[in-house]
Structure 1
Amino acid sequence: MINLKIFSKILDLIFPDKVTCVNCGCEIYSSDKYSLCEECLKTLTIIKGKTCRICGRGISEISSYEKCMECRKNDFYFDGGFSLCVFSGTIKKLLMDFKYNEKNYLYSVFSDLIIDNLNLNDLDIDLITFVPVHFTRKFFRGYNQSELIANDISKKIGINSKKILIRTKITKRLKVLSKEERKNEIEGAFIINNKKNFTRKNILIIDDIYTTGTTLNECSKVLKYNGAEKIYICTLAIRCKD
């Protein structure tokens, strides 16, 4: 039986087409997974093993708890969550390029990583949505990074993606605020786009980075108050606690 990866690399040698790693820029084979070279792929801090059922943060295999310490101290409106990577190294650089350096094509790399490494198909999901950005931020950036990822995941796993929420408030950069300041800043920032889209539906919300869960929790609260059944969250990276 022909090894497809070897066959693909032979074709690359016969019909060369310069392809570069999306992270470091070195030349790679077109067949290399996620458009990353082997070295950069090794440095992805993908969360493996036992994880918190709420946020997706990695927890000790010997822990008797299903939640991490942070989630045990807080109540959330979402019912469960997944996080792909620890926010460091390669994934951090790629996310910063994605958000701030106009590398919007990375959405396909991120959606493939999420689908291959998180058990999204094991969830009873009716709809996929995303954390919205204010229209002024979307105008200047040109896109909403979470929306691009959500729509691509939707196409690849066959679950509809819809814009359910609208962001009505331009908030300060939440990463520089305390937990309490974040909560106050984000409160009332979202309204419903179309309630008929999701009444009694199970919804998966896509976002890029999980820090305290404040933004995702506010989105989940609005959806639950307006008729959603269950809410799950999925983020590309999660900031580890010090």
Structure 2
Amino acid sequence: MRNSRSQRNIREILTSIWNIISAWLWPEVCPFCGKASSQGICTICRRKLEMLRIREPRCMQCGKPIRHVEQEYCHDCMHTRHHYDQGLSLWLHKAPVSTSIYQFKYHNQRRYGIHYTEELICCYGHMIKRWNPDLIIPIPLHKKRRKKRGYNQAEIVSRELGRRLQIPVDEKSLVRRIATSPQKILSHSERKKNLRKAFALKWAVYPASTVLLIDDIYTTGNTIDAAAEVLKQNGVEKVYFLTISIGQGY
């Protein structure tokens, strides 16, 4: 435990140093339009984001927006048995959110993760407190994809969230053992098949009855479900999730 705590402290110090160096080398830019902005998210993009913010009424399980207040669940959740318990997302997956996440994932814009984390805490800090997770786990990439990309975007958000909220983060236990095809090119049924047995536990997770999963995008929920199923098969009682964006509900 002492070594683990020491390593976490060293990582936090290095992250702080890197953030200072990054801020000095590169001027602060808005993560949604790429223009210089000392306030992070610029005023124009902030207005656009407010239009995409997920508000009530929303699905009680996945958090997608729904049309009617008297509705409890979206179409997907009414016809799907999920392994996770509940989840929330910040924005609909439309521009400029979708373009920002693309830059975050594929063009090394790792600093965007700080802004996403700030927004998650601002909007859902009270829900995280209510869920009271023992552990944060980022949805893992397969080792080949991680090597090619150089980093896992879900880990960046998880680390920042864990650091700010003082919740342990486990990046090692849950692994993606199968190099699955990109979910965005597959149909709903193909996505479920694609993720079957994709995840596994490398070793037992830090003793945790409640886990918070972190990913960038929620579409049908198959990725979150597959990870939640593995966790629950190994003793986790409650699994929640947070994502930056989500598909349109109906």
Please indicate the TM-score interval, normalised by the length of the shorter structure: 0.7 to 0.9
**Is residue 88 of structure 2 the alignment partner of residue 82 of structure 1?**
yes
Q: TM-score, structure 2 length as denominator? A: 0.83
Q: Which of the pair has more CA radius of gyration?
A: 1
Partner of 1:232: 240
Could you tell me how far 1:21 is from its partner in structure 2? 2.3
Answering whether residue 105 of structure 2 is matched by residue 99 of structure 1, we say: yes
Which of 37, 40, 43 does residue 38 from structure 1 map onto? Answer: 43
TM-score, normalised via structure 1 length: 0.86
Q: Distance in 1 between matches of 2:34 and 2:224?
A: 33
Q: Offset at 1:18?
A: 5.5
Moved over 3 A (4+): 17-20
Q: 2-side partners of 1:101 and 1:108: how far apart?
A: 16
Q: Is the 8 A contact 1:49 1:61 kept in 2?
A: no
Give aligned pairs, total: 220
- What residue in structure 2 maps to residue 12 of structure 1? none
Q: Is the 8 A contact 2:216 2:244 kept in 1?
A: yes
Q: State the Cα deviation string for residues 174-218 of structure 1 (Å, max 9, x = none).
A: 11111111111111111102214145x100100111111011100
Distance across 2 between alignment mates of 1:25 and 1:126: 36
**Which stretches in structure 1 are left out of the alignment for 5+ residues?**
1-16
Matched, 1:222 2:230: yes
Structure 2 regions of 5+ residues with no counterpart? 1-25
Matched residue SS, 1:83: strand
Identity of aligned residues (%): 30
Counterpart in 2 of 1:6? none
Contact 2:33 / 2:96 at 8 angstroms: preserved in 1?
A: no
Distance of aligned partners of 1:20 and 1:105 in 2 relative to their CA distance in 1, 3 Å threshold: closer
Determine which of 168, 179, 190 is the counterpart of 1:170.
179
Separation (CA, whole Å) in 2 of partners of 1:90 and 1:167? 29
Q: Which amino acid aligns with 1:137?
A: R
Corresponding residue of 2:22: none
Matches within 5 A, 1:34-183: 35-44=40-49, 45-60=52-67, 62-63=69-70, 65-118=71-124, 119-163=127-171, 164-183=173-192
Query: Match for residue 16 of structure 2?
Result: none
Residue 20 of structure 1, CA deviation:
3.2
Task: Tell me, in whole angstroms, the C-alpha distance in 2 between the residues paired with 1:194 and 1:52.
Answer: 34
